[in-house]
Structure 1
C-alpha cells in the first residue's frame, strides 16, 4: 500500500493506514525529520488516544491509553547502544503484549522483533508531501 499526503491531511492518512489492517507492531522507517513521530501522533489520535503524544527519545517508550481501553506503546530506540539495553528495559514484554507497538529506528533491535509486524516507510518528497509505503 502506498499513500501520498500533505501534513494538512495526515489524519486522513492515519485512518487509511489503520483501515489497511496492519499488524499491531509497526516499524516506522525514514530519515530524521521525515515525519515518523508526527504520523505516529496522528495514528494514536485515530485509535482514540486523547493524551498529548510526544517522541519518547529520552524515555525510550511512551504508553498511551485509547478511549476503548486499549494500550498503545510508542518506542524511539534511536539512543540505544545495543539490543541488550532493549532487553533490559523489558521490550519483549511490550512486543508480545498484543497491544499496538509503534517503533522508530527499529533497525537497532532487528533481531528482537517478532515476524508478525508491518513495516512503514515514510519519505519526504521534494514538494513537501509525504509518501508512505506500508508492507
Structure 2
C-alpha cells in the first residue's frame, strides 16, 4: 500500500473516511510526524468516523486513552514521554496491541521492538500553515 493525500483541516473528515476505506481490516496504525503536524487531529477524526461519541483527547500524560465503538474498542497511545520501552511493557501495551481492537499509536519510534507485524504507517508532513500531506504505507 502506497498512497499520499494532500489536505487541509477543512478536508479532515474526507481524509479519515478515505483512510479507513483504504486500510481495510487493519487495526494497528502507527502515526509519524513532527510535533504539531496533526497526528492527534487526524486520530480524533478517525475515532469520530468509527463511532466514538466521547471527547477524544491526546493521551500524553496517561499514555493510553480507551474509547468504545459499536464494534469494540479503540486504544489511542502517545509514547512521546517514554523514557524506555520497558515503561510501555509495564503498562501492558502488548495486551492492547494483540486485543484485535483498533490501536492508534503516536510516537511509535519510542517502542521500536514492540511494534506488532501487520501495522499501517501513517506519516504526516507539514506543507504550510494550513496544508498537510499524509503518506499511507
Structure-2-length-normalised TM-score? 0.95
Structure 1 residue ranges without an equivalent (≥5): none
1:118 and 2:124 correspond: no
Distance in structure 1 (CA, Å) of the matches to 2:41 and 2:17: 14
What secondary structure is seen at the aligned counterpart in 2 of 1:20? helix
For residue 96 of structure 1, what is the aligned residue in structure 2?
Answer: 98
Distance in structure 2 (CA, Å) of the matches to 1:103 and 1:83: 14
How far apart are residue 52 of structure 1 and its match?
0.2
RMSD: 1.0
Structure-1-length-normalised TM-score? 0.96
How far apart are residue 124 of structure 1 and its match?
1.2
> 4+ residue runs of structure 1 moved beyond 4 angstroms?
none
For residue 4 of structure 2, what is the aligned residue in structure 1?
Answer: 2
Distance in structure 1 (CA, Å) of the matches to 2:38 and 2:111: 21
1:77 and 2:79 correspond: yes
For residue 11 of structure 1, what is the aligned residue in structure 2?
Answer: 13
How far apart are residue 97 of structure 1 and its match?
0.3
For residue 52 of structure 1, what is the aligned residue in structure 2?
Answer: 55
For residue 35 of structure 1, what is the aligned residue in structure 2?
Answer: 38
For residue 63 of structure 1, what is the aligned residue in structure 2?
Answer: 66
What secondary structure is seen at the aligned counterpart in 1 of 2:46? helix
What secondary structure is seen at the aligned counterpart in 2 of 1:110? coil
How far apart are residue 127 of structure 1 and its match?
5.4
For residue 129 of structure 1, what is the aligned residue in structure 2?
Answer: 131
Distance in structure 1 (CA, Å) of the matches to 2:78 and 2:49: 20
How far apart are residue 126 of structure 1 and its match?
2.3
How far apart are residue 4 of structure 1 and its match?
1.1
